Amino acid sequence: MAMQKGNISVQTENIFPIIKKFLYSDHEIFLRELISNAVDATVKLKALASRGEIKEDIGDLTIEILLDKENKTLTVRDKGIGMTEEEVKKYLNQVAFSSAQEFLEKYKNEAAIIGNFGLGFYSSFMVSDKVEAVTKSYQDAPGVTWACEGDPEYTLAENDKTQRGTDIVLFINEENKEFLEEHRIQQLLDKYCKFLPIPIKFGTHTETVSEGEGEEKVEKEVEVDNIINNTNPTWRRQPAELTDEDYKAFYNELYPFSTPPLFWIHLNIDYPFNLTGILYFPKLGNNFEVQKNKIQLYSNQVYVTDNVKEIVPEFLTLLHGVIDSPDIPLNVSRSYLQGDSNVRKITGYITKKVADKLSELFKKERENFEAKWNDLGVFIKYGLISDEKFYERALPFTLVRNVAGEYFPIEEYKEKIKENQTDKYDKVVALYTNDPDGHDSFIKAATARGYDILVFDTVIDNHFMQQLEYKMGGITFVRVDSDTVDNLVQKDEKQESVLSEEQEKEVKTLFDELVTDGGSVVVKALSPEDLPVTITRPEFMRRMKEMQMMQGMQFGELPDSYNVVVNTNHPLIANKLAGEKNKKKRAATAEYLYKLALLNQNMLRGSSLTEFINKSLEFLK
């Protein structure tokens, strides 16, 4: 046929600048789009062959990526169904929009579009001065070459191509010459094409092979194709055919040199939507922020993104792994994604599968579950706080750990401490520490009374406690050094003071003269075994300050607040202090006991700490 010229079917000459500016947020996406088209053409050929519509052997279907730095071209070559002249006109010459204005309004804020040959193909103009499509159909038709230089004009002519398939040849422009570098193309192939279902060849490499046997055995170097992808990734296989080692090997393939995961969930559903994948539970520890954005989203094995917050609940972004679904609408804006019915169904399904897996592990392997709680705890607590449905499913296997290293489901723990740890307001009081070493004296005093102490030492526990107080009702969490611990002491357990009322006033006056900076002196008759002076903090104010610190103190700093509790029944208070006639010695004793209490709470610092140490050394001399 003679060379044809024509105009691409759009209503403005500004269509190409619009494509370059608005269709894709990142120019590198062009390679994914072109290779996706090549895969699609190859898969269609295989489908035709399987139905008997192609009689001859379809041969090797490897897709090739070819670089020619001298001629500044990058070629994507497939051996798929190819195109006839009519198909070229249909797919390449008609951008299916009524006007460029509609195109702009609909797509200017949107991300990648996979599966639409026309739009995927036109992404190539973001990086090219000229694009050629050299193609030959599997049907009995001559090959044709389509060429365009980034404006509505194109040329179409017959070629002498004999092999079925399509070459998309990009004449890379100066602005994007990075895409003529081998390492850059390899980087993109590793990112976007690692698990495509058709082999992708990019160059060759040498391997050592052995030939012959015995004394005649020789080794030689041979050149072999460099296939960059795994065409049958683990998530596409049936769970029954996979071992634990297969799952761990795939995790290492996704995240080389990472710590092995705790366990995993294999997702496989075909109704009411299609979804496959594997989600891994990583070892989180206490710092979970660095673990986010490790789930990779694929569409028919084509990598899309690792930003999946519109597809999975926020707390699930702590998981690692792969989700693959052709039913996630990739050609729409994020705001629409959140409201899409398929996305909501997928989100709900994944949440349920995660909860079911955790529940199963807790019921069948409780000891193993408890052993993993240090890593699972942050994840589950995050889920309880942020997702209502997950809260309902997860509460039965949400554990708390006490200072003795025992684990209890939270509902079970509430019943365990109910009899001995209910305050005067009829609320169950769960005592906790976020620093077992620092709170050692408080823990010993509380356990001496028969109280149980939890360990809450993760970054999320403050929010977690408030969520449980709000949702469960009838329970409150109080740090072991809080002043509200005193509400637990039953009336019949309260001590009578050995000091007279006048002596108590004198003792209080002594400490009032020492305490500044937001502290208040409280004189109480406690057990002689309790410390002579302790520092406690109002639970509410302490929590407010901690929340404020987490939020960057954006509402102004709250004043410090604490109580200096003087135990009038301790021998050092009742005898050495109240019984001392020498005012200087009495004041020195009060100051020493007060500073010991400050030291116990890590509140004695700087010059005050140095002075206290020096006085202690003088005393020992």
pLDDT digits (tens, 9 = 90+) for 162-208: 999 999 999 999 999 999 999 999 999 999 999 999 999 999 888 88
Sign of CA dihedral 361, 363, 367, 371: positive
Q: What is the token pair recorded at 258?
A: 């990472």
Claim to verify: residue 169 and residue 311 sit in the same structural domain:
no
Is 418 within the bounds of a domain? yes
* Cα 402 from Cα 373, distance rounded (Å): 13
Query: Is residue 229 situated within a structural domain?
Result: no
437 and 533 within one domain: no
Question: 582 or 63: whose pLDDT is higher?
Answer: 63
Same-domain pairing of 131 and 192: yes
Residue 96 confidence (pLDDT) = 38
Task: Assess if residue 383 is contained within a domain.
Answer: no
Domain boundary among 463, 479, 494: 494
The answer to the question of residue 214 being in a domain is: no
- Do 181 and 297 share a domain, yes or no? no
Q: Which two tokens stand for residue 376?
A: 């699972």
Same structural domain for residues 135 and 241? Answer: no
Structure-token match 């020619």, residue found: 68
Structure tokens, 240: 């029954």
Query: How many beta carbons lie within 10 A of that of residue 425, not counting itself?
Result: 8
Rounded to 10 deg, the angle between the 182-192 and 29-50 helix axes is: 60
Beta bridge mates, 223: 206
List, for residues 411-447, the tens digit of each pLDDT value: 999 999 998 898 888 889 999 999 999 888 889 988 9
Please give the pLDDT value at position 16: 60
Q: How far apart are CA 603 and CA 515, in angstroms?
A: 12
- With beta carbons less than 8 A apart as the criterion, state whether 400 and 413 touch: yes
The predicted pLDDT at position 355 comes to: 93
- What pLDDT sits at residue 20? 58
pLDDT band at 27 (very low <50, low <70, confident <90, very high): confident
CA angle in degrees (0–180, nearest 5) for 17-19-25: 115
CA–CA separation, 401 and 371 (whole Å): 11
Backbone φ/ψ region at 301: left (φ over 0), alpha (ψ -120 to 50), beta: left
Residues 93, 385: Cα–Cα separation, whole Å? 52
Q: 269: pLDDT confidence band, cut at 50, 70 and 90?
A: confident
Residue 368 CB coordination number (10 Å):
12
Predicted pLDDT of residue 488:
66
Q: Is 617 exposed, middle or buried (0-12, 13-18, 19+ CB in 10 A)?
A: exposed
> 219 in a domain, yes or no?
no
pLDDT of residue 99: 34
231-235, 451-455, 592-596: least confident range? 592-596
Position 400 pLDDT exceeds 90: yes
In the chain, what percentage of residues exceed pLDDT 70?
A: 84
Helices 501-512, 583-600: crossing angle, 10 deg rounding = 70
Is the same domain home to 289 and 427?
no
User: Can you point out the beta strands (E) in 192-335?
Assistant: 200-211, 218-227, 263-269, 275-281, 294-299, 302-305, 320-324
Do 459 and 508 share a structural domain?
Answer: no
Q: Domain of 609? A: 495-537+551-621
Same domain, 248 and 309: yes
Query: In whole angstroms, what is the distance from residue 169 CA to residue 115 CA?
Result: 20
CATH of the domain at 317: 3.30.230.80
- The 3-class secondary structure across 41-56, one letter per residue, is HHHHHHHHHHCCCCCC
Say whether both 46 and 189 belong to one domain.
yes
Residue 218 placed within a domain:
no
Q: Which residue has the tokens 């007279």?
A: 500
Question: How are the residues of the chain apportioned to helix, strand and coil, as percentages rounded to the nearest 5?
Answer: 45, 20, 35
Does residue 479 sit in the same domain as residue 512? no
Cα gap 418→475, rounded to integer Å: 9
User: Does some domain include residue 546?
Assistant: no
Residue 462 to residues 358, 373, 455, 468, 594, Cα–Cα distance (Å): 23, 18, 12, 10, 29
| 146 and 258 assigned to the same domain | no
**What distance in Å separates the CA atoms of residue 279 and residue 295, rounded to the nearest whole number?**
8
pLDDT tens across 325-373, in order?
Answer: 887 765 433 444 555 677 778 888 889 999 999 999 999 999 999 999 9
CATH number at residue 69: 3.30.565.10
Residue 519: count other Cβ atoms within 10 Å of its Cβ: 19
Query: Which residue, of 350, 378, 406, is where some domain finishes?
Result: 378
How many domains, in total, are found in the chain? 4
Contacts of 250 (CB under 8 A, 6+ apart): 233, 234, 235, 278
Are 480 and 517 members of one domain? no
The overall pTM is greater than 0.85: no
CATH number at residue 523: 1.20.120.790
Distance CA 475, CA 470 (A): 9
Is 56 contained in some domain? yes
Tell me the sheet residues that pair with 488: none
Task: Taking residues 583-609, report their average pLDDT.
Answer: 84
